[in-house]
Structure 1
């Protein structure tokens, strides 16, 4: 099975360049007087999580551009699906959401009772940023390098536990994919967000996890975690010294997995509003200071047109659907 990177550097550059060129010097306003009140930016993960941090990077400059406050509203639960559901049901024209890829690509396959349908109930607005995952282990793990870790983990059977930010999240499915390639049998333990996963790892209540570099790398530098590999085929910003997991898999298959976050609205959100929000968000994410701020956290800023996000959702829904079928993962 070939798992392609979410965005190659060249493809990301072309997407950004093409979209930036399409932006007129002045915005075509969604409608006269819009917005007339604050916007609500719903995040389905807790404060301190990566979606929350990204939302707060975007919220202030978006508020300045729109001339109205943008209030981040954390609605936590069901691996981000509660927040997405809140957006899908909003009809006020002033509610949007930011989430990781899981609730937009895998929720329905993992839990058929998920109350929203992405294609029917949501409107894509913009990709925000992408990142590799870092495979982290607690200091109780005796292995000090990637191959040593894989050998040790295989020998433990189901005695090891791994954390994720919820069923169907990228951190969950990436580990399930790694298990199919390596024979590791670690048991899944879901958490609300990466800060909680990191706390459990550092407290040695958890053995391993795929995490984002912005949380894992600083703790590793303080000798509170071990880092074994990155989920992308190439070195990752923020974790340049950590080897790609692919390098230890020999010919077993391509392991190239990324996490991404995106902003979306309810299906009822008018198209002119979607277009203006997409343009504003793209401008924000193309600002050098924002790019650098995100890069320092291990994220590569994107910014995209709505149809680019729609295509990415469809592409990853199909890809992760194959992984879910292969692994038999379910959240219900």
Structure 2
């Protein structure tokens, strides 16, 4: 009888040990270096954000976090690489276009952001600045009244067809009742040159680029595209203060993962990222880069993706916007 009891105790211990080992294996993820893919070149804004997150995330996870740049197609090459990863150790730092309208804008896009990727956390957001030549006299409501009067005699510049600046300006046109003509450029540096030279009369620019030119006296800022004033450029009014109602447009970056990454790992990452971006020193560094910290749950990012996808797809369809 004692032998039977002893065997039962040993068997129970083995079962418990196996269960503990399984639980331990599940909680010790990641088990090797984590790859953080960025679809833009080194030194770009998404790259700088990714590298800012990599070290504290590595410390929190107990594994190296390696930033890998896979630049091209407006970040879609990197997003595609993340969507195809099956190693449970690859995630990506992406911009809003990669996670929202990539497939809607260009059906040839090789991944579907809504099917092949899953949200982890919205990292940071920023409004765009409506910038005009420094010689522009009108401000606020008077600027839009003048723009309405001039109709299609005015031009606006963007860094390309289908960019947030392009879609955002088409949305602004509808909300403000103005009709400037689109002039696409290779990038924002050329847009700024066009503004300074008077070839285009307005453009939506990231605050980090716009405010340097505004403070240097080369451009003038009408306002920001957020619903209210933004901590990124607190000195600027919102366009709502200039009479443009119902406009809320922000650029953002976020961490996403392959759809197959286990939910437990996704929640672990989201929790850590939210804590990291709220650290005062990290928050300030992100603000210095022209971004306002968010740090959401996966559900929070999913809601943002759904809202922006609906708004931007409506702009694309109404204006029949096609990729170059």
- Distance change in 2, residues 1:186/1:56 (3 Å): farther
- Distance change in 2, residues 1:116/1:188 (3 Å): farther
Larger Rg: 2
Aligned residues: 300
Which consecutive aligned stretches of 4+ in structure 1 deviate over 6 angstroms post-superposition? none
1:257 aligns with 2:249: yes
What corresponds to 2:203 in structure 1? Answer: 209
Q: RMSD of the alignment, in Å?
A: 2.7
SS in 2 for 1:157: helix
CA contact (8 A) 1:29 1:276 kept: no
Deviation at 1:328, TM superposition (A): 2.5
| TM-score normalised over the length of structure 2 | 0.81
What corresponds to 2:239 in structure 1? Answer: 245
Show CA shifts across 1:27-46 (max 9, x none): x9773653233222222233
Determine the C-alpha separation between the residues in 1 that align with 2:270 and 2:49.
Answer: 16
What corresponds to 1:308 in structure 2? Answer: 300
What corresponds to 2:92 in structure 1? Answer: 97
Deviation at 1:63, TM superposition (A): 1.6
1:75 aligns with 2:70: yes
1:66 aligns with 2:57: no
What corresponds to 2:322 in structure 1? Answer: 330
Determine the C-alpha separation between the residues in 2 that align with 1:196 and 1:96.
Answer: 32
Q: Which residue among 168, 177, 184 is the counterpart of 2:171?
A: 177
Provide structure 1 residue ranges, at least 5 long, that are not aligned to the other structure: 1-27
Aligned pairs (5 A) from 1:23-172: 31=26, 33-139=28-134, 141-143=135-137, 145-147=139-141, 149-150=143-144, 153=147, 155=150, 157=152, 160-164=155-159, 166-172=160-166
Q: Which of structures 1 and 2 has the larger relative contact order (alpha carbons within 8 angstroms, sep 6+)?
A: 1
Deviation at 1:257, TM superposition (A): 1.5
- Distance change in 2, residues 1:297/1:199 (3 Å): farther
Deviation at 1:186, TM superposition (A): 2.6
Determine the C-alpha separation between the residues in 1 that align with 2:79 and 2:201.
Answer: 30
SS in 1 for 2:92: strand
CA contact (8 A) 2:76 2:98 kept: yes
CA contact (8 A) 1:135 1:227 kept: yes
- Distance change in 2, residues 1:52/1:184 (3 Å): farther
CA contact (8 A) 1:44 1:79 kept: yes
SS in 2 for 1:123: strand
Determine the C-alpha separation between the residues in 2 that align with 1:44 and 1:146.
Answer: 36
Provide structure 2 residue ranges, at least 5 long, that are not aligned to the other structure: 1-22
Determine the C-alpha separation between the residues in 1 that align with 2:24 and 2:41.
Answer: 33
Deviation at 1:125, TM superposition (A): 0.8
Q: Which residue among 214, 225, 228 is the counterpart of 1:231?
A: 225
What corresponds to 1:15 in structure 2? Answer: none
Q: Which residue among 261, 274, 292 is the counterpart of 2:266?
A: 274
SS in 2 for 1:264: strand
